[in-house]
A and B are shown apart, each in its own frame.
Chain A
Amino acid sequence: MTTIREDLTDRTLWAEFARNSGRAFRFMLRQDWFGLSMLALLTLFILGPMLNVFVWAFTATRIRPPAILPEEWGLRWWIATFERLDVIEGFTTSIVISLIVTGLAAVICLPAAYAFARMQFRGRTVFLLSFLMTNAFPRFGLYITIAVIFFRLGLVGTVAGVVLIQLVNTLLFMVWIPTAAFQGVDKALEEAALDVGASRLRVFIQITLPMVLPALSAALLLTFIGTFYETQGAFLIGVPNVKTLPTVMITLINHPITQHGAVLSVALWVPSMILLIFSQRVLRGGSLAAGFGV
Protein backbone atom coordinates (compact mmCIF):
# COMPACT_ATOMS: atom_id res chain seq x y z
CA MET A 1 0.00 0.00 0.00
CA THR A 2 2.80 2.38 0.83
CA THR A 3 4.26 2.01 -2.64
CA ILE A 4 1.03 3.16 -4.19
CA ARG A 5 0.99 6.26 -2.04
CA GLU A 6 4.58 7.02 -2.95
CA ASP A 7 3.86 6.43 -6.61
CA LEU A 8 1.02 8.90 -6.56
CA THR A 9 3.38 11.64 -5.52
CA ASP A 10 5.29 11.04 -8.71
CA ARG A 11 4.54 13.67 -11.33
CA THR A 12 4.58 11.32 -14.30
CA LEU A 13 2.03 9.13 -12.58
CA TRP A 14 -0.23 12.10 -12.00
CA ALA A 15 -0.03 12.87 -15.69
CA GLU A 16 -0.99 9.32 -16.52
CA PHE A 17 -3.81 9.48 -13.98
CA ALA A 18 -5.11 12.62 -15.69
CA ARG A 19 -4.88 10.95 -19.09
CA ASN A 20 -6.67 7.90 -17.77
CA SER A 21 -9.45 9.85 -16.18
CA GLY A 22 -9.88 11.73 -19.43
CA ARG A 23 -10.22 8.40 -21.14
CA ALA A 24 -12.59 7.19 -18.43
CA PHE A 25 -14.73 10.28 -18.93
CA ARG A 26 -14.89 9.73 -22.68
CA PHE A 27 -15.81 6.12 -22.03
CA MET A 28 -18.57 7.20 -19.66
CA LEU A 29 -19.80 9.69 -22.22
CA ARG A 30 -20.09 6.95 -24.82
CA GLN A 31 -21.68 4.52 -22.41
CA ASP A 32 -23.99 6.90 -20.64
CA TRP A 33 -24.31 10.08 -22.68
CA PHE A 34 -27.95 10.43 -21.62
CA GLY A 35 -27.19 10.24 -17.90
CA LEU A 36 -24.33 12.71 -18.18
CA SER A 37 -26.32 15.24 -20.18
CA MET A 38 -29.25 14.94 -17.75
CA LEU A 39 -26.82 15.42 -14.87
CA ALA A 40 -25.43 18.55 -16.49
CA LEU A 41 -28.87 19.95 -17.33
CA LEU A 42 -30.35 19.23 -13.90
CA THR A 43 -27.30 20.65 -12.15
CA LEU A 44 -27.72 23.90 -14.05
CA PHE A 45 -31.51 24.09 -13.83
CA ILE A 46 -32.03 22.76 -10.28
CA LEU A 47 -28.85 23.61 -8.36
CA GLY A 48 -28.03 26.84 -10.23
CA PRO A 49 -30.90 28.89 -8.74
CA MET A 50 -30.30 27.46 -5.25
CA LEU A 51 -26.59 28.24 -5.34
CA ASN A 52 -27.40 31.71 -6.58
CA VAL A 53 -29.61 32.35 -3.53
CA PHE A 54 -26.82 31.19 -1.20
CA VAL A 55 -24.36 33.58 -2.82
CA TRP A 56 -26.83 36.47 -2.54
CA ALA A 57 -27.44 35.70 1.14
CA PHE A 58 -23.74 36.17 1.91
CA THR A 59 -23.21 39.17 -0.32
CA ALA A 60 -22.20 42.15 1.82
CA THR A 61 -22.31 44.78 -0.91
CA ARG A 62 -23.61 43.68 -4.28
CA ILE A 63 -23.00 41.59 -7.36
CA ARG A 64 -22.08 43.95 -10.16
CA PRO A 65 -23.15 42.51 -13.52
CA PRO A 66 -21.69 40.72 -15.35
CA ALA A 67 -19.77 39.43 -12.32
CA ILE A 68 -20.99 36.20 -10.77
CA LEU A 69 -19.55 36.60 -7.29
CA PRO A 70 -20.07 39.54 -4.96
CA GLU A 71 -17.60 42.38 -4.52
CA GLU A 72 -17.53 41.69 -0.80
CA TRP A 73 -18.76 38.74 1.24
CA GLY A 74 -20.32 39.02 4.68
CA LEU A 75 -23.15 38.35 7.10
CA ARG A 76 -24.30 41.97 7.23
CA TRP A 77 -27.75 41.35 5.81
CA TRP A 78 -28.54 38.47 8.13
CA ILE A 79 -28.76 40.86 11.05
CA ALA A 80 -30.64 43.44 9.02
CA THR A 81 -33.20 40.89 7.79
CA PHE A 82 -33.92 39.45 11.20
CA GLU A 83 -34.31 42.90 12.67
CA ARG A 84 -37.20 43.59 10.31
CA LEU A 85 -40.45 43.72 12.26
CA ASP A 86 -42.48 41.99 9.56
CA VAL A 87 -40.03 39.08 9.53
CA ILE A 88 -40.13 38.67 13.32
CA GLU A 89 -43.91 38.88 13.44
CA GLY A 90 -44.28 36.62 10.41
CA PHE A 91 -42.07 34.02 12.01
CA THR A 92 -44.10 33.98 15.24
CA THR A 93 -47.39 33.91 13.34
CA SER A 94 -46.23 31.05 11.14
CA ILE A 95 -45.00 28.95 14.06
CA VAL A 96 -48.22 29.49 16.04
CA ILE A 97 -50.53 28.79 13.10
CA SER A 98 -48.57 25.72 11.99
CA LEU A 99 -48.64 24.31 15.53
CA ILE A 100 -52.41 24.88 15.77
CA VAL A 101 -53.07 23.33 12.35
CA THR A 102 -50.86 20.30 13.07
CA GLY A 103 -52.42 19.75 16.49
CA LEU A 104 -55.93 20.15 15.14
CA ALA A 105 -55.20 17.82 12.22
CA ALA A 106 -53.85 15.23 14.64
CA VAL A 107 -56.89 15.42 16.91
CA ILE A 108 -59.27 15.21 13.96
CA CYS A 109 -57.47 12.62 11.84
CA LEU A 110 -55.58 10.20 14.09
CA PRO A 111 -58.64 8.55 15.72
CA ALA A 112 -60.10 8.21 12.24
CA ALA A 113 -56.88 6.60 11.01
CA TYR A 114 -57.05 4.13 13.90
CA ALA A 115 -60.63 3.26 13.00
CA PHE A 116 -59.78 2.83 9.31
CA ALA A 117 -56.87 0.55 10.13
CA ARG A 118 -58.26 -1.59 12.92
CA MET A 119 -62.04 -1.71 12.70
CA GLN A 120 -64.37 -3.35 10.26
CA PHE A 121 -67.40 -1.35 9.22
CA ARG A 122 -69.65 -0.80 6.26
CA GLY A 123 -68.37 1.76 3.76
CA ARG A 124 -64.86 1.74 5.19
CA THR A 125 -63.15 1.67 1.78
CA VAL A 126 -65.39 4.35 0.29
CA PHE A 127 -64.86 6.69 3.23
CA LEU A 128 -61.10 6.14 3.21
CA LEU A 129 -60.86 6.80 -0.51
CA SER A 130 -63.12 9.85 -0.26
CA PHE A 131 -60.17 11.81 1.13
CA LEU A 132 -58.80 11.84 -2.41
CA MET A 133 -61.34 14.58 -2.98
CA THR A 134 -58.92 17.04 -1.35
CA ASN A 135 -56.59 16.50 -4.32
CA ALA A 136 -59.19 16.30 -7.07
CA PHE A 137 -59.98 20.03 -7.23
CA PRO A 138 -57.88 22.76 -8.82
CA ARG A 139 -56.51 24.06 -5.54
CA PHE A 140 -56.87 27.81 -5.89
CA GLY A 141 -60.35 27.48 -7.40
CA LEU A 142 -61.39 25.66 -4.24
CA TYR A 143 -59.64 28.18 -1.99
CA ILE A 144 -61.39 31.11 -3.58
CA THR A 145 -64.84 29.56 -3.05
CA ILE A 146 -63.86 29.05 0.59
CA ALA A 147 -62.71 32.66 0.72
CA VAL A 148 -66.11 33.90 -0.50
CA ILE A 149 -67.79 32.04 2.39
CA PHE A 150 -65.17 33.17 4.90
CA PHE A 151 -65.77 36.75 3.82
CA ARG A 152 -69.49 36.39 4.59
CA LEU A 153 -68.62 34.82 7.96
CA GLY A 154 -66.06 37.50 8.84
CA LEU A 155 -63.21 34.98 8.92
CA VAL A 156 -61.03 36.85 6.42
CA GLY A 157 -57.97 38.34 8.07
CA THR A 158 -58.28 36.14 11.15
CA VAL A 159 -56.05 33.38 12.50
CA ALA A 160 -59.08 31.06 12.62
CA GLY A 161 -59.68 31.59 8.90
CA VAL A 162 -56.07 30.81 7.99
CA VAL A 163 -56.06 27.73 10.23
CA LEU A 164 -59.24 26.39 8.63
CA ILE A 165 -58.10 26.88 5.04
CA GLN A 166 -54.75 25.26 5.78
CA LEU A 167 -56.50 22.31 7.40
CA VAL A 168 -57.78 21.25 3.95
CA ASN A 169 -54.25 20.36 2.84
CA THR A 170 -53.49 18.17 5.82
CA LEU A 171 -56.42 15.73 5.76
CA LEU A 172 -55.25 13.23 3.14
CA PHE A 173 -51.77 12.99 4.57
CA MET A 174 -52.82 12.78 8.21
CA VAL A 175 -55.41 10.07 7.50
CA TRP A 176 -53.59 7.89 4.99
CA ILE A 177 -50.07 7.69 6.46
CA PRO A 178 -51.22 6.89 10.02
CA THR A 179 -53.77 4.39 8.64
CA ALA A 180 -50.95 2.54 6.88
CA ALA A 181 -48.88 2.72 10.06
CA PHE A 182 -51.64 1.27 12.24
CA GLN A 183 -52.23 -1.45 9.66
CA GLY A 184 -48.56 -2.36 9.87
CA VAL A 185 -48.78 -3.26 13.57
CA ASP A 186 -48.67 -7.01 14.15
CA LYS A 187 -51.94 -7.93 15.83
CA ALA A 188 -50.41 -11.10 17.28
CA LEU A 189 -48.21 -9.00 19.56
CA GLU A 190 -51.18 -7.10 20.93
CA GLU A 191 -53.19 -10.27 21.43
CA ALA A 192 -50.30 -11.87 23.24
CA ALA A 193 -50.14 -8.92 25.63
CA LEU A 194 -53.92 -9.08 26.15
CA ASP A 195 -53.64 -12.81 26.86
CA VAL A 196 -51.17 -12.28 29.67
CA GLY A 197 -53.60 -9.83 31.26
CA ALA A 198 -52.60 -6.35 30.05
CA SER A 199 -55.44 -3.84 29.79
CA ARG A 200 -56.46 -2.47 26.37
CA LEU A 201 -55.11 0.96 27.26
CA ARG A 202 -51.80 -0.49 28.39
CA VAL A 203 -51.49 -2.54 25.19
CA PHE A 204 -52.13 0.59 23.13
CA ILE A 205 -49.58 2.67 25.01
CA GLN A 206 -46.87 0.04 25.41
CA ILE A 207 -47.22 -2.07 22.26
CA THR A 208 -49.14 -0.24 19.52
CA LEU A 209 -47.93 3.32 20.02
CA PRO A 210 -44.17 2.64 19.98
CA MET A 211 -44.57 0.73 16.72
CA VAL A 212 -46.45 3.49 14.91
CA LEU A 213 -44.56 6.38 16.47
CA PRO A 214 -41.94 6.82 13.72
CA ALA A 215 -44.56 7.07 10.97
CA LEU A 216 -46.83 9.24 13.14
CA SER A 217 -44.06 11.67 13.97
CA ALA A 218 -43.07 11.84 10.33
CA ALA A 219 -46.67 12.60 9.35
CA LEU A 220 -46.86 15.30 12.03
CA LEU A 221 -43.54 16.77 10.96
CA LEU A 222 -44.47 16.86 7.28
CA THR A 223 -47.83 18.42 8.14
CA PHE A 224 -46.10 21.07 10.23
CA ILE A 225 -43.56 21.87 7.51
CA GLY A 226 -46.15 21.79 4.75
CA THR A 227 -48.34 24.20 6.70
CA PHE A 228 -45.42 26.44 7.60
CA TYR A 229 -44.62 26.98 3.93
CA GLU A 230 -48.19 26.98 2.62
CA THR A 231 -48.48 30.23 0.74
CA GLN A 232 -51.61 30.73 -1.33
CA GLY A 233 -54.24 29.93 1.30
CA ALA A 234 -52.51 32.01 3.96
CA PHE A 235 -52.04 34.87 1.52
CA LEU A 236 -55.65 34.80 0.32
CA ILE A 237 -57.31 34.57 3.74
CA GLY A 238 -54.73 36.17 6.05
CA VAL A 239 -54.06 39.50 4.34
CA PRO A 240 -53.96 42.18 5.65
CA ASN A 241 -54.08 41.31 9.35
CA VAL A 242 -52.48 37.89 9.56
CA LYS A 243 -49.14 37.69 7.79
CA THR A 244 -47.33 34.38 7.83
CA LEU A 245 -43.68 34.20 6.84
CA PRO A 246 -44.40 33.13 3.23
CA THR A 247 -46.74 36.13 2.93
CA VAL A 248 -43.91 38.38 4.15
CA MET A 249 -41.60 36.65 1.70
CA ILE A 250 -43.95 37.61 -1.17
CA THR A 251 -43.46 41.27 -0.30
CA LEU A 252 -39.68 40.79 -0.07
CA ILE A 253 -39.34 39.03 -3.44
CA ASN A 254 -39.05 42.23 -5.43
CA HIS A 255 -37.65 44.35 -2.59
CA PRO A 256 -34.87 46.70 -3.76
CA ILE A 257 -32.51 45.02 -1.31
CA THR A 258 -32.08 41.60 -2.88
CA GLN A 259 -30.37 40.15 0.18
CA HIS A 260 -33.51 40.26 2.39
CA GLY A 261 -35.22 37.62 0.31
CA ALA A 262 -32.03 35.60 -0.07
CA VAL A 263 -31.30 35.52 3.67
CA LEU A 264 -34.88 34.56 4.45
CA SER A 265 -34.81 31.84 1.79
CA VAL A 266 -31.63 30.26 3.12
CA ALA A 267 -32.70 30.56 6.74
CA LEU A 268 -36.11 29.07 6.00
CA TRP A 269 -34.98 26.39 3.66
CA VAL A 270 -32.10 24.75 5.53
CA PRO A 271 -34.09 23.46 8.54
CA SER A 272 -36.86 22.16 6.34
CA MET A 273 -34.33 20.32 4.20
CA ILE A 274 -32.80 18.62 7.24
CA LEU A 275 -36.19 17.75 8.73
CA LEU A 276 -37.53 16.41 5.46
CA ILE A 277 -34.51 14.22 4.80
CA PHE A 278 -34.84 12.91 8.34
CA SER A 279 -38.52 12.16 7.91
CA GLN A 280 -37.94 10.51 4.56
CA ARG A 281 -35.66 8.11 6.32
CA VAL A 282 -38.30 7.37 8.92
CA LEU A 283 -40.99 6.85 6.32
CA ARG A 284 -40.08 3.87 4.23
CA GLY A 285 -39.34 4.54 0.57
CA GLY A 286 -42.06 6.14 -1.46
CA SER A 287 -44.25 7.17 1.46
CA LEU A 288 -43.51 10.79 0.66
CA ALA A 289 -45.60 10.33 -2.45
CA ALA A 290 -48.54 9.19 -0.30
CA GLY A 291 -49.54 12.79 0.20
CA PHE A 292 -50.27 12.91 -3.50
CA GLY A 293 -52.45 9.83 -3.24
CA VAL A 294 -49.93 7.57 -4.91
Chain B
Amino acid sequence: MAQLTSPQRRINWVPYALIAPPLIVMALLIVYPASLSTWDTITVVDDNGGVRFSLEAYRNFFEAPRSLPNLIFTLQITVFTVGALFLACFPIAYYLRFARTPIVGPVQFLALFPLFVPGIITAYALLRFLGANGWLENILVSLTGWDGYVTPFPKASGIAIGLIWEGIPITILILTAGFAQIPNSLIESARDVGANRWQVFTRIILPLVRRPVLIVLTLNFLGVFGSFTMPYLLGPASPQMYGVYMEQLYGNTRYSNVQVAAVLMFLISSVVGLLYVRSIVSQRLEEGV
Protein backbone atom coordinates (compact mmCIF):
# COMPACT_ATOMS: atom_id res chain seq x y z
CA MET B 1 0.00 0.00 0.00
CA ALA B 2 2.76 2.37 0.96
CA GLN B 3 4.35 1.78 -2.41
CA LEU B 4 1.19 2.62 -4.33
CA THR B 5 0.92 6.05 -2.77
CA SER B 6 4.63 6.79 -3.01
CA PRO B 7 5.41 10.06 -4.84
CA GLN B 8 6.61 8.32 -8.01
CA ARG B 9 3.33 6.49 -8.56
CA ARG B 10 0.98 9.35 -7.73
CA ILE B 11 -0.72 10.96 -10.72
CA ASN B 12 -0.27 14.69 -11.06
CA TRP B 13 -3.78 16.02 -11.58
CA VAL B 14 -2.80 19.61 -12.37
CA PRO B 15 -2.39 19.18 -16.15
CA TYR B 16 -5.67 17.27 -16.37
CA ALA B 17 -7.46 20.04 -14.49
CA LEU B 18 -5.99 22.59 -16.90
CA ILE B 19 -6.97 20.74 -20.08
CA ALA B 20 -10.40 19.72 -18.81
CA PRO B 21 -12.36 22.92 -19.67
CA PRO B 22 -11.91 22.88 -23.47
CA LEU B 23 -12.42 19.11 -23.52
CA ILE B 24 -15.67 19.51 -21.59
CA VAL B 25 -16.84 22.20 -24.01
CA MET B 26 -16.08 19.85 -26.89
CA ALA B 27 -17.92 16.99 -25.22
CA LEU B 28 -20.99 19.16 -24.57
CA LEU B 29 -21.11 20.95 -27.92
CA ILE B 30 -19.91 18.25 -30.31
CA VAL B 31 -19.99 14.76 -28.88
CA TYR B 32 -23.25 15.15 -26.97
CA PRO B 33 -25.34 16.78 -29.76
CA ALA B 34 -24.07 14.34 -32.38
CA SER B 35 -24.65 11.30 -30.14
CA LEU B 36 -28.04 12.49 -28.94
CA SER B 37 -29.24 13.06 -32.51
CA THR B 38 -28.03 9.60 -33.52
CA TRP B 39 -29.77 8.04 -30.51
CA ASP B 40 -33.00 9.94 -31.15
CA THR B 41 -33.15 8.80 -34.77
CA ILE B 42 -32.75 5.08 -34.05
CA THR B 43 -35.13 4.79 -31.10
CA VAL B 44 -38.78 5.40 -30.37
CA VAL B 45 -40.45 5.84 -27.02
CA ASP B 46 -43.51 3.62 -26.49
CA ASP B 47 -46.76 4.83 -24.92
CA ASN B 48 -45.77 3.23 -21.65
CA GLY B 49 -42.37 4.94 -21.62
CA GLY B 50 -40.26 2.04 -22.91
CA VAL B 51 -37.49 2.76 -25.42
CA ARG B 52 -37.02 0.44 -28.38
CA PHE B 53 -34.92 0.36 -31.51
CA SER B 54 -36.65 1.62 -34.64
CA LEU B 55 -35.70 3.18 -37.95
CA GLU B 56 -39.11 4.80 -38.34
CA ALA B 57 -37.57 8.29 -38.28
CA TYR B 58 -35.57 7.46 -41.41
CA ARG B 59 -38.60 6.06 -43.25
CA ASN B 60 -40.53 9.15 -42.25
CA PHE B 61 -37.69 11.39 -43.46
CA PHE B 62 -37.43 9.79 -46.89
CA GLU B 63 -41.20 9.94 -47.33
CA ALA B 64 -40.75 13.69 -47.68
CA PRO B 65 -40.49 14.04 -51.46
CA ARG B 66 -37.51 16.40 -51.40
CA SER B 67 -35.23 14.48 -49.05
CA LEU B 68 -33.67 12.15 -51.60
CA PRO B 69 -33.35 14.61 -54.53
CA ASN B 70 -31.77 17.16 -52.18
CA LEU B 71 -29.30 14.57 -50.91
CA ILE B 72 -28.27 13.67 -54.45
CA PHE B 73 -27.99 17.35 -55.35
CA THR B 74 -25.83 18.01 -52.28
CA LEU B 75 -23.47 15.18 -53.16
CA GLN B 76 -23.24 16.29 -56.79
CA ILE B 77 -22.37 19.88 -55.82
CA THR B 78 -19.88 18.65 -53.24
CA VAL B 79 -18.03 16.30 -55.58
CA PHE B 80 -18.02 18.85 -58.38
CA THR B 81 -16.81 21.75 -56.21
CA VAL B 82 -14.10 19.74 -54.46
CA GLY B 83 -12.87 18.42 -57.81
CA ALA B 84 -12.95 21.81 -59.53
CA LEU B 85 -11.16 23.47 -56.61
CA PHE B 86 -8.44 20.87 -56.70
CA LEU B 87 -7.98 20.99 -60.48
CA ALA B 88 -7.79 24.79 -60.41
CA CYS B 89 -5.49 25.09 -57.42
CA PHE B 90 -3.04 22.23 -57.93
CA PRO B 91 -1.36 23.81 -61.01
CA ILE B 92 -1.29 27.22 -59.32
CA ALA B 93 0.33 25.81 -56.18
CA TYR B 94 2.82 23.90 -58.32
CA TYR B 95 3.58 27.11 -60.18
CA LEU B 96 4.01 29.10 -56.97
CA ARG B 97 6.55 26.59 -55.70
CA PHE B 98 8.67 26.06 -58.78
CA ALA B 99 8.38 29.16 -60.98
CA ARG B 100 11.02 31.87 -60.68
CA THR B 101 9.40 34.89 -62.31
CA PRO B 102 8.25 38.27 -61.00
CA ILE B 103 4.62 37.20 -61.45
CA VAL B 104 4.77 34.61 -58.65
CA GLY B 105 4.28 37.28 -55.99
CA PRO B 106 1.12 38.87 -57.46
CA VAL B 107 -0.40 35.46 -58.26
CA GLN B 108 0.16 34.32 -54.68
CA PHE B 109 -1.33 37.54 -53.30
CA LEU B 110 -4.46 37.16 -55.42
CA ALA B 111 -4.85 33.47 -54.62
CA LEU B 112 -4.66 34.08 -50.86
CA PHE B 113 -6.73 37.27 -50.94
CA PRO B 114 -10.14 35.60 -50.29
CA LEU B 115 -8.81 34.45 -46.92
CA PHE B 116 -9.29 38.05 -45.79
CA VAL B 117 -12.84 38.37 -47.07
CA PRO B 118 -15.68 37.15 -44.83
CA GLY B 119 -18.07 34.76 -46.58
CA ILE B 120 -21.05 37.06 -46.25
CA ILE B 121 -19.21 39.84 -48.11
CA THR B 122 -18.07 37.35 -50.75
CA ALA B 123 -21.67 36.35 -51.41
CA TYR B 124 -22.75 39.97 -51.76
CA ALA B 125 -19.81 40.85 -54.03
CA LEU B 126 -20.38 37.84 -56.29
CA LEU B 127 -24.08 38.64 -56.58
CA ARG B 128 -23.28 42.17 -57.73
CA PHE B 129 -20.44 41.12 -60.04
CA LEU B 130 -21.89 38.02 -61.70
CA GLY B 131 -25.61 38.72 -61.20
CA ALA B 132 -28.10 39.86 -63.82
CA ASN B 133 -27.13 43.38 -64.96
CA GLY B 134 -23.98 42.97 -62.89
CA TRP B 135 -20.53 44.22 -63.73
CA LEU B 136 -19.41 41.25 -65.79
CA GLU B 137 -22.50 41.41 -67.99
CA ASN B 138 -22.13 45.17 -68.39
CA ILE B 139 -18.45 44.84 -69.25
CA LEU B 140 -19.20 42.18 -71.84
CA VAL B 141 -21.97 44.25 -73.39
CA SER B 142 -19.89 47.46 -73.53
CA LEU B 143 -16.74 45.80 -74.81
CA THR B 144 -18.11 43.23 -77.25
CA GLY B 145 -21.77 44.09 -77.69
CA TRP B 146 -22.57 40.45 -76.86
CA ASP B 147 -25.66 40.28 -74.66
CA GLY B 148 -26.06 36.55 -74.21
CA TYR B 149 -24.65 36.48 -70.67
CA VAL B 150 -26.61 34.28 -68.28
CA THR B 151 -26.10 34.77 -64.55
CA PRO B 152 -25.18 31.72 -62.43
CA PHE B 153 -27.50 32.89 -59.62
CA PRO B 154 -29.60 31.42 -58.16
CA LYS B 155 -28.47 28.11 -59.61
CA ALA B 156 -26.29 25.13 -58.80
CA SER B 157 -23.40 26.73 -60.66
CA GLY B 158 -23.80 29.83 -58.45
CA ILE B 159 -23.27 27.74 -55.30
CA ALA B 160 -20.18 26.13 -56.81
CA ILE B 161 -18.72 29.51 -57.81
CA GLY B 162 -19.22 30.94 -54.32
CA LEU B 163 -17.70 27.92 -52.61
CA ILE B 164 -14.76 27.83 -55.03
CA TRP B 165 -14.08 31.53 -54.40
CA GLU B 166 -14.05 30.85 -50.69
CA GLY B 167 -12.00 27.67 -50.93
CA ILE B 168 -9.13 28.83 -53.15
CA PRO B 169 -6.82 30.29 -50.47
CA ILE B 170 -6.80 27.39 -48.03
CA THR B 171 -6.44 24.89 -50.87
CA ILE B 172 -3.45 26.78 -52.25
CA LEU B 173 -2.00 27.29 -48.77
CA ILE B 174 -2.06 23.59 -47.93
CA LEU B 175 -0.79 22.48 -51.35
CA THR B 176 2.07 25.02 -51.44
CA ALA B 177 3.06 23.99 -47.91
CA GLY B 178 3.20 20.43 -49.23
CA PHE B 179 5.24 21.39 -52.29
CA ALA B 180 7.57 23.48 -50.13
CA GLN B 181 8.67 20.38 -48.25
CA ILE B 182 10.17 18.87 -51.40
CA PRO B 183 13.85 19.80 -51.34
CA ASN B 184 15.33 21.22 -54.54
CA SER B 185 18.30 18.91 -54.14
CA LEU B 186 16.05 15.88 -54.57
CA ILE B 187 14.72 17.17 -57.88
CA GLU B 188 18.17 18.20 -59.07
CA SER B 189 19.66 14.81 -58.30
CA ALA B 190 16.81 13.11 -60.18
CA ARG B 191 17.55 15.39 -63.14
CA ASP B 192 21.22 14.53 -62.88
CA VAL B 193 20.55 10.84 -63.34
CA GLY B 194 18.55 11.66 -66.45
CA ALA B 195 14.91 11.94 -65.33
CA ASN B 196 12.79 14.21 -67.53
CA ARG B 197 10.24 16.71 -66.22
CA TRP B 198 7.35 14.26 -66.41
CA GLN B 199 9.28 11.55 -64.56
CA VAL B 200 10.30 14.01 -61.86
CA PHE B 201 6.67 15.01 -61.49
CA THR B 202 5.12 11.53 -61.36
CA ARG B 203 7.88 9.64 -59.54
CA ILE B 204 9.16 12.23 -57.07
CA ILE B 205 6.79 15.15 -56.60
CA LEU B 206 3.43 13.35 -56.69
CA PRO B 207 4.27 10.68 -54.08
CA LEU B 208 5.61 13.40 -51.77
CA VAL B 209 2.46 15.53 -51.89
CA ARG B 210 0.03 12.66 -51.36
CA ARG B 211 -0.77 13.73 -47.82
CA PRO B 212 -1.42 17.44 -48.49
CA VAL B 213 -3.58 16.40 -51.43
CA LEU B 214 -5.58 14.09 -49.18
CA ILE B 215 -5.91 16.83 -46.54
CA VAL B 216 -7.15 19.32 -49.12
CA LEU B 217 -9.68 16.93 -50.62
CA THR B 218 -11.10 15.84 -47.26
CA LEU B 219 -11.15 19.33 -45.72
CA ASN B 220 -12.88 20.78 -48.78
CA PHE B 221 -15.37 17.91 -48.85
CA LEU B 222 -16.36 18.58 -45.24
CA GLY B 223 -16.46 22.33 -45.87
CA VAL B 224 -18.68 22.15 -48.94
CA PHE B 225 -20.87 19.31 -47.69
CA GLY B 226 -21.54 21.15 -44.42
CA SER B 227 -21.95 24.62 -45.94
CA PHE B 228 -24.94 26.85 -45.41
CA THR B 229 -24.30 30.52 -46.17
CA MET B 230 -23.25 30.19 -49.82
CA PRO B 231 -26.02 27.77 -50.89
CA TYR B 232 -28.55 29.79 -48.88
CA LEU B 233 -27.64 33.08 -50.54
CA LEU B 234 -26.54 31.95 -54.01
CA GLY B 235 -28.39 28.69 -54.65
CA PRO B 236 -31.80 27.81 -56.08
CA ALA B 237 -34.94 27.31 -53.99
CA SER B 238 -35.16 23.78 -55.33
CA PRO B 239 -33.28 21.48 -55.28
CA GLN B 240 -31.52 22.52 -52.10
CA MET B 241 -28.23 21.59 -50.50
CA TYR B 242 -28.66 19.85 -47.16
CA GLY B 243 -27.53 22.85 -45.14
CA VAL B 244 -30.39 24.92 -46.51
CA TYR B 245 -32.83 22.00 -46.39
CA MET B 246 -32.08 21.33 -42.71
CA GLU B 247 -32.46 24.99 -41.82
CA GLN B 248 -35.87 24.99 -43.50
CA LEU B 249 -36.97 21.81 -41.72
CA TYR B 250 -35.74 23.34 -38.46
CA GLY B 251 -37.73 26.50 -39.16
CA ASN B 252 -40.80 24.29 -39.66
CA THR B 253 -40.07 22.67 -36.25
CA ARG B 254 -39.65 19.24 -37.83
CA TYR B 255 -36.88 18.35 -35.41
CA SER B 256 -36.96 14.59 -36.00
CA ASN B 257 -36.39 15.15 -39.73
CA VAL B 258 -33.61 17.62 -38.93
CA GLN B 259 -31.84 15.06 -36.78
CA VAL B 260 -32.13 12.35 -39.43
CA ALA B 261 -30.68 14.70 -42.05
CA ALA B 262 -27.78 15.62 -39.77
CA VAL B 263 -27.03 12.00 -38.88
CA LEU B 264 -27.09 11.09 -42.57
CA MET B 265 -24.56 13.87 -43.19
CA PHE B 266 -22.37 12.54 -40.39
CA LEU B 267 -22.57 9.00 -41.79
CA ILE B 268 -21.76 10.03 -45.34
CA SER B 269 -18.83 12.19 -44.32
CA SER B 270 -17.54 9.91 -41.58
CA VAL B 271 -14.99 8.19 -43.82
CA VAL B 272 -13.82 11.54 -45.12
CA GLY B 273 -13.63 12.99 -41.61
CA LEU B 274 -11.60 10.03 -40.40
CA LEU B 275 -9.22 10.29 -43.36
CA TYR B 276 -8.77 13.99 -42.60
CA VAL B 277 -8.04 13.40 -38.93
CA ARG B 278 -5.73 10.49 -39.71
CA SER B 279 -3.60 12.42 -42.20
CA ILE B 280 -3.24 15.45 -39.92
CA VAL B 281 -2.46 13.21 -36.95
CA SER B 282 0.26 11.33 -38.83
CA GLN B 283 1.74 14.63 -40.01
CA ARG B 284 1.70 16.05 -36.49
CA LEU B 285 3.26 12.94 -35.00
CA GLU B 286 6.09 13.09 -37.52
CA GLU B 287 6.76 16.72 -36.73
CA GLY B 288 6.55 16.03 -33.00
CA VAL B 289 3.44 17.43 -31.38
Contact = CB atoms under 8 A, between A and B. Distances in A.
Given A134-B30, A137-B30, A253-B124, A50 B229 contact: no
B103 A52 contact: no
A129 B103 contact: no
B120 A231 contact: yes
B32 interface: yes
Contacts of A232: 228-229, 243
Contact of A49 (B18, B115, B126, B281): B126
A42 B110 contact: yes
Most buried by A among B26, B113, B233, B259: B26
Contacts, number: 285
Contacts of A133: 26, 30-31, 277
Contact of A294 (B33, B177, B255): B177
B15 A119 contact: yes
B226 A48 contact: no
Interface in A25-39: 28, 31-32, 34-36, 38-39
B255 to A, nearest CB: 5
Interface in A80-133: 107-109, 111-112, 114-116, 119-122, 124-125, 127-133
Nearest to A236: B247
Interface residues of A, number: 95
Contacts of B127: 253-254
Interface residues of B, number: 97
Given A115-B18, A139-B227, A269-B117, A145 B124 contact: no
A73 interface: no
A135 B137 contact: no
A289 B117 contact: no
B101 A31 contact: yes
Contacts of B113: 46-47, 50
B121 A112 contact: no
B111 interface: yes
A136 B276 contact: yes
A125 B251 CA distance: 41
Contacts of B36: 145, 149
Interface string A132-148: 11111111111111111
Interface of B: 11-12, 14-16, 18-23, 25-26, 29-34, 36-37, 91-92, 95, 99, 101, 103-104, 106-107, 110-111, 113-130, 133-139, 141-142, 165, 168, 170, 173-174, 177, 215, 219, 222-223, 225-229, 233, 242-243, 246-247, 250, 255, 258-259, 261-262, 265-266, 269, 273-274, 276-277, 280-281, 284-285, 289
10 contacts: A46-B111, A53-B124, A66-B137, A133-B277, A136-B277, A145-B37, A145-B258, A147-B258, A148-B37, A272-B116
4 closest residue pairs by CB, A with B: A138-B226, A49-B125, A229-B118, A115-B18
